[in-house]
Amino acid sequence: MFRKILIANRGEIACRVIRTCRKLGIRTVAVYSEADDGAQHMRLADEAIAIGRAPAAESYLVIEKIIEACERSGADAVHPGYGFLSENRRFAEALEKKGITFIGPSVHAVHAMGDKIESKKLAKAAGVNTIPGYLGAISGPDEAAKIAAEIGYPVMIKASAGGGGKGMRLAWNEAECREGFVSATSEARSSFGDERVFIEKFIQEPRHIEIQVLGDRHGNIVYLGERECSIQRRHQKVIEEAPSPLIDAATRKAMGEQAVALAREVGYFSAGTVEMVVGPDKSFYFLEMNTRLQVEHPVTELVTGIDLVELMIRVAAGEKLPFTQEQIELNGWAMESRIYAEDPYRGFLPSTGRLQRYRMPQEGRHVRIDTGVTEGSEISLYYDPMIAKLCTWGRDRNEAIRHMRGALDATEIDGISHNVNFLAAVAGHPRFQAGRLSTAFIAEEFPDGFQGAALPEAERNAVLSVAVFAHLESEARARRISGQMPGYRPEATAKLVLFIGDERHEAEVQPAVDGIDVTIGDHIIPVRSHWRPGARRFDGVVHNQPFSAQIRPRPEGFRITHGGADLDILVRTPRAAELARHMPVKLPPDTSKFLLCPMPGLVVSIAVSEGDQVKAGQPLAVVEAMKMENVLRAERDGTVAKVAARPGDSLAVDQVILEFA
């Protein structure tokens, strides 16, 4: 067994690998960039070595710096995690030349299957079903448009060395194909150092289902069931689960055996994933093989009881797999929600800053949390914006969803924007709960973006009742404050008026043991809780059901977050509600004359000059954030009066880029 392992990665996956190494008694070495100085992964490791400046191209992607860190620390093996150099053949070769073990497959397998183009050629030659496409080198936008026309739109443009949705564009026509080719190659070059892309037919109404394979150096290869990864946004997975609600035992066996056959073709060992595009009729096509650990591996671990990182290490050390295919059993259901630093209310634009508050639910039998940050950590614009992976397990799918919804409601994050509300909205969506999934789920169910979940009446009344409870508890505390003016003493209120925007609700309150009974309309909602003013999380029983919510005081009321809904609730006495009708309405400022930077990012290019006439939909600027390039377009026709930013500028949210006449 290895004495010391260097983790050539950062964030939650580095922390995940360190956890297993500790269990095995193996010392660990972390590497970190200037932006990650003091990060959680370097604090957890036994040693930490600086490897360069913040951009990944100057630190985590520099093979020579990782090799040097191995030599300085005396590490005898390297775990690459996922992303960065995990599927880089030159990295695996460089380690091999230095006598350092690469905890992953052979150089041959990395080359044959890690390259998306070569893997498709190999799969096709082996008789595996593949999606129609063009796998050769593409010289430029003209050739890309010609190839796409021959295949037939829609087409997908993908980076050959890609992963995680980077360097990937969907094109429905020639204009989108040309623009997508330029964006995909640029993104591929900056993210992977390899600008090659390929084009394939886009299968409509597809499901993204993958098979986890595991092999050793002695020729044993098994599959560990499937993962459903169809809930995606911009080709980035959002929620994953194992097993899939679509796949039956016969299809699982067919997909698994095909994945194993493909892995055996290249002498595969270590953990790997064969990704499939699956139609509603359960027909499946080979998509690609990832020759590394997947982000979503925890759901497979939760339903199989197998530590994939441990087995990767043991296989790399020459050990045999401790089980056969027949001994692998799937137990229960698992789900993973990816919590990102992004603003779903503003088109999921990246968010950066400090985690001023970061409290996750308690881990246990039903909840697992993989994270690489702590309260006070900085979310940088240089890397993937993942904060944590929240995983839940249940005896069946409904139970796993129920635990997920409760865990999301119990998650507290302040200081940056995040997608917890969106995840909760998806988990509570009737179509998701019914298992009717596809990779177009988010686009179809949230076509106008995300503005918060629409709660059913019972849940909405529950949230209103919690606001009443919080208001009365705050009033009760006010009555206990000493030194109040003579002649005035606040009194408990029996009738209240609640407002959510222009929506008005009248409530009556009756005291009860450990709580209150709230009447809203024809509904009586019992609220029982030990919540006290100042607590940011409400936990209790509402209408005889466990209930969690985030609660923040605001003038005349509370902001309550539950089930994906973020509600500003005003709580007033009937007299105060009557007087409030006469208050003037404050209008927001007009910013229509400006192009504002929608996220913290780096200006890549400005496409216009002062005095230019622009048309609606015309590209104006490109801003890069979290390794993704974002094209900003004109919302309407106009004339550019002033250019306030230049390529290379680092901008904050809502900073002016252009001003229009």
Active site residues: 288
Per the document, the length of the chain is 661
How many CA atoms are closer than 13 Å to the CA of 629, on its beta-carbon side? 24
- In this structure, are strands 270-278 and 284-290 parallel, antiparallel, or unpaired? antiparallel
Instruction: Pull the structure tokens for residue 416.
Output: 């940056």
Query: 204: Cβ–Cβ under 8 A, 6 or more apart, which residues?
Result: 154, 440
DSSP-derived letter for residue 130 is B
Phi and psi (nearest 5°) for 382?
-85, -20
537-540: long-range contacts, CB 8 A cutoff, minimum separation 24: 537/359, 537/410, 537/412, 538/466, 538/470, 539/410, 540/466, 540/469, 540/515
| Separation of first and last alpha carbons in the chain | 69
How far is residue 545's CA from residue 197's CA, in Å, rounded to a whole number? 52
Burial label, 267 (beta-carbon count in 10 A; 0-12, 13-18, 19+): middle
- From the list 356, 324, 363, 330, the residue with the least C-alpha distance to 341 is 356
How far is residue 641's CA from residue 145's CA, in Å, rounded to a whole number? 35
Strand 4-7: give its sheet, edge to edge.
Answer: 47-50, 27-32, 4-7, 77-79, 101-102
Contact 300, 242 (CB under 8 A): yes
Contact 128, 258 (CB under 8 A): yes
Q: What is the distance, to the nearest Å, from the Cα of residue 586 to the centroid of all Cα atoms in its chain?
A: 36
Phi and psi (nearest 5°) for 128?
-85, 140
- Rounded to whole angstroms, the maximal C-alpha distance in the chain is 90
How far is residue 530's CA from residue 427's CA, in Å, rounded to a whole number? 27
DSSP-derived letter for residue 246 is S
Q: Which residues pair with 526 in a beta bridge?
A: 517
| Sequence letter at residue 454 | A
CA distances from 283 to 138, 223, 249, 286 (A): 30, 19, 14, 11
Phi and psi (nearest 5°) for 172?
-105, -10
Residue with tokens 């009737």: 430
How far is residue 556's CA from residue 570's CA, in Å, rounded to a whole number? 6
Query: 622: Cβ–Cβ under 8 A, 6 or more apart, which residues?
Result: 603, 604, 605, 607, 629, 630, 631, 632
Burial label, 533 (beta-carbon count in 10 A; 0-12, 13-18, 19+): middle
Burial label, 48 (beta-carbon count in 10 A; 0-12, 13-18, 19+): buried
